[in-house]
Amino acid sequence: MRGTNEPNIIGNELKYISKSIKNNEIAVGRNLFLFEKKLKKNLKAKHLVLCSSGTAALQVALRAIGLKRNDEVIVPSFTFIATINSVIYNNCQPIFMDCDEYCNINVDKVLEFLKNNTFKKGNYTFNKKTKKRIYAIVLVHVWGGLVNIDKLKEICKLRNIKIVEDATESVGAKYIKGYSKNKYAGTVGDMGCLSFNGNKIITSGGGGAIITSSKKLAIKAKYLINQATDDGFSYIHKEVGFNYRMSNIHASIGLAQLEKINFFIKRKKTIHEFYKKKFLKCKNVEILSFPRYSKNNFWQTTLLVKNKNHIKKIQLIKSNLEKKGFLIRKAWLPCHLQNPYKNFETYKITNSETISSKLICLPCGTSLKSKDLNVISKVILNCIDE
Ligand SMILES: Cc1ncc(COP(=O)(O)O)c(C=O)c1O
């Protein structure tokens, strides 16, 4: 069965792993250094710290940036659960926001919330309702298309609200307009987080990275992922840290994948355009567009099913595609509706709830051939018109 985003191993992965094993560089070694250096250069990042996953990157970034217990963090509801879990891991509370037409956080509603529902006292912003400090916002660049961050940067600076970018799905995407022009996903906010999970645009077989332009924050993040070790020889730890390092074997895969990132992005764009063309004339479905202010990485193309009986249609598409050997997924159930998060604050959420049940994540692996894409489109069109 072919998944929605399978890894595509077409480069030096085996060579780099074999060399690492031969040199006994398993946990630590040269490829960690090389992956970090090349990724940093590729994304024009000032500081970059590799770690064990995107989730770990988010948890540590939020901690490093100075969140304190019981602070509140503005988050999108429409995201993978890991984004929100990272807030809870820090003993803080999420405030859920709606999504826009690209499924990114609705920036206008965030601005409205800040204007009407918060107040500034001293250096910080507080929630009028809970009186708690709102210290950070997590911006998720959903499916490889970027959040319109320019609209938020200034107000967040004025309100001393730190921006953490969840760029786990958007590695290699960049802004092409506005103040953030030519900046890559993860490098615009105070901290950025990447993922190299098996399904991402490049994989290290599990891994992540924290990006920042602040040397102090990078040092802090590195310290935290290394068990907060002050003196390794004498085992001195002045804080509670984590074992969130990336291994050299994982970095070997990541390094080889990074060499192919431009090919992967190009292929993802071709897949997106293929689907767009195939479904253009069908009035019951629509391929969701990506923003125009960014050069997106097109990691995940999604299909909006507009039929009245969309739930039934999606089930039919799922089972008919499985018969042909392809898996699809639904979009996320919004996080404010998930069991652990039902009782947290939400602000005017409408779109996240209505769009979520109508979207399908289409098979988008870069190893899919045109004939596969043709089969997938044909099956879907047959189901839709049935
Ligand atoms: C939006 C989002 N945030 C966070 C994560 C967590 O990354 P990881 O799986 O590397 O922990 C993922 C993907 O897995 C994701 O899609």
| Intervals of the chain under pLDDT 70 | 386
Q: Residues lining ligand 1, judged by CB closer than 6 Å? A: 53-55, 79-80, 82-83, 140, 166, 168-169, 195, 197, 208
Structure tokens at 177: 């307009």
pLDDT value at position 3?
Answer: 87
Q: Which of 99, 168, 352 to mutate to test the pocket of ligand 1 (most atoms within 8 A of CB)?
A: 168
Question: Phi and psi (nearest 5°) for 272?
Answer: -60, -45
Sign of CA dihedral 57, 137, 64, 212: positive
* Domains present along the chain, CATH in parentheses: 13-258 (3.40.640.10), 261-385 (3.90.1150.10)
pLDDT value at position 385?
Answer: 79
pLDDT value at position 134?
Answer: 98
pLDDT value at position 203?
Answer: 98
In ligand 1, the atom with minimum distance to the C-alpha of 195 is 10
pLDDT value at position 304?
Answer: 97
Question: Phi and psi (nearest 5°) for 72?
Answer: -110, 150
pLDDT one-digit tens code per residue, 307-332: 889 999 999 999 999 999 999 999 99
pLDDT one-digit tens code per residue, 20-36: 999 999 999 999 999 99
Question: Which residues neighbour 174 within 8 Å (Cβ) at sequence distance 6 or greater?
Answer: 146, 182, 183, 184, 185, 294, 295
pLDDT value at position 190?
Answer: 98
Q: Are 143 and 169 in contact (CB under 8 A)?
A: yes
Q: Which of 4, 50, 55, 335 to mutate to test the pocket of ligand 1 (most atoms within 8 A of CB)?
A: 55
Q: Are 325 and 76 in contact (CB under 8 A)?
A: no
Task: Tell me the DSSP string of 247-292.
Answer: PHHHHHHHHHHHTTHHHHHHHHHHHHHHHHHHHTT-TTEEEPPPPS
Q: Are 326 and 296 in contact (CB under 8 A)?
A: no
pLDDT value at position 161?
Answer: 98
